Amino acid sequence: MLGFRLELLKNNGSFSTQLVLFVVLCFVLTSKVEAQQKIIHGIRHTEQSQIPNNAPFRRALTPRVIWKEVRYHTLNDGKVVADYVAHHDLEGHRLTPGANLGPDAKAHVILAGCSWTYGSGVNDDETFSSVLARMMPDMRVLNFGVPGGSISDHNYLWRYADLKQKVAFPKGVFVYVHTPPQDDRLLMSPNYMLWAPPYRTYFETEGEDIQFKGIAINTWSFKITKFMKRQGLEMYWLKFYSWLRPYHIKFSKERMAFHIAALKKSYLKQFPQGKFVVVKVSLAELTPTEEGRRMWQELADSKIEVWDIMDETAGKWLIKGDGHPNVAYHASIAEKLHQKIQELHLGHSGN
């Protein structure tokens, strides 16, 4: 199934005529495609030690191998803009140095989201998960961030994995860190399929619930996008998709609140004493679209608490040429989360 609805175009005139004319127009307008700046995420496995497959964590995080230690380097126009090392536990989640993994912790703090939560661009002890863990030594702080991931990866994990042993403590808080790119990924857009791993999970709304439908490689959006890329036509394909993207974004934001509510339900099923919140951190949310405002209102209507910890000055805290938060921004996010979590009275927090 395509990650967008072509039938939306049928409202105006002949769909086939519009489609043909637009494709021709795209070829004319982009006959001379300028070289574009590319960001390349390279991976070097510095410790050749594989972690055994532990399904269903495997489906949610990686299809083949989880590496205990990985060194990433991000290139922008041939220049290294980020070079960092990440370590992972047996399920593939990033380690959180300083976290209390002993039996004397008071409660759990789960941080979930995409690469912003994972900590792309910074070392293990610099992620806001690790900074927060040092601020709250009596909490089991866990980093469940999935680089390049979407809400579907988390829904899959919480539906099909028993996390009681890993999380351990019945009382705690699940913090879902939302960023706008996750909306685009929910429906497997061509922009996302151009670089997304083939094992990314996806769900569809059915009635009052969501249903797991498979992985990215099985979708038409993935197949068409990869075919276009092999033929060297990906720029034309994305140009065509850009015409449809406003419909896609509207559709995905309409669905996002529903999928977040489903994640809350799965978390509380395993941890009924827990609390579920969604966090805004992205600068893009400072000027939300009408669809974005509606999504946040739907979350409020679903009785999902939202923490707004955005910082208008945070633009200077992004890694230049990469776009992920730098060390200072991670520290700022941790400080604001610390203040919010303290208000929940989960335990006696450190200073």
The DSSP line for 45-111 is -SS--EEPP-TTHHHHH-SS-EESEEEEEEEETTEEEEEEEEEB-TTSPBP-TT---STT--EEEEE
Model-level pTM greater than 0.85?
no
For the segment(s) 6-29+94-342, the CATH number from 3.40.640.10, 3.40.50.300, 3.40.50.150, 3.40.50.1110 is: 3.40.50.1110
Flag whether pLDDT at 8 surpasses 70: no
Please determine, for residue 47, whether its predicted confidence score (pLDDT) is greater than 50.
Answer: no
Q: At a CB cut-off of 8 Å and minimum separation 6, what does 13 contact? A: none
Considering only residues 20 and 241, tell me which one the structure prediction assigns the higher pLDDT.
Answer: 241
> What was the pLDDT predicted at 285?
62
Closest alpha carbon to 5 in 260, 197, 250, 295: 250
Q: Which of 164-178, 244-258, 296-310, 325-339 has the lowest mean pLDDT?
A: 244-258
Give the mean model confidence (pLDDT) for residues 126-144. Answer: 96
Q: Which segment of 35-44, 99-108, 259-268, 274-283 scores lowest on mean pLDDT?
A: 35-44
Mean per-residue pLDDT, 104-124: 95
Residue in the structure block whose two tokens are 């960001």: 39
Task: Decide if 89 contacts 49 (C-beta within 8 A).
Answer: no
Q: How confident is the model at residue 345 (pLDDT cuts 50, 70, 90)?
A: confident
| Mean pLDDT computed over 32-38 | 31
Confidence of residue 48 (pLDDT cuts 50, 70, 90): very low
Do the beta carbons of residue 57 and residue 87 sit within 8 Å? no
Confidence of residue 241 (pLDDT cuts 50, 70, 90): confident
Lowest-pLDDT choice from 150-154, 157-161, 247-251: 247-251
Name which residue leads in pLDDT, 119 or 287: 119
Q: Is the pLDDT of residue 150 over 50?
A: yes
* Helix 128-135, helix 327-342: angle, nearest 10: 40
Q: What is the mean pLDDT of residues 288-303?
A: 83
Q: What is the pLDDT of residue 288?
A: 67
Name the phi and psi angles at 17, rounded to 5: -65, -45
Strand partners, 318: 325
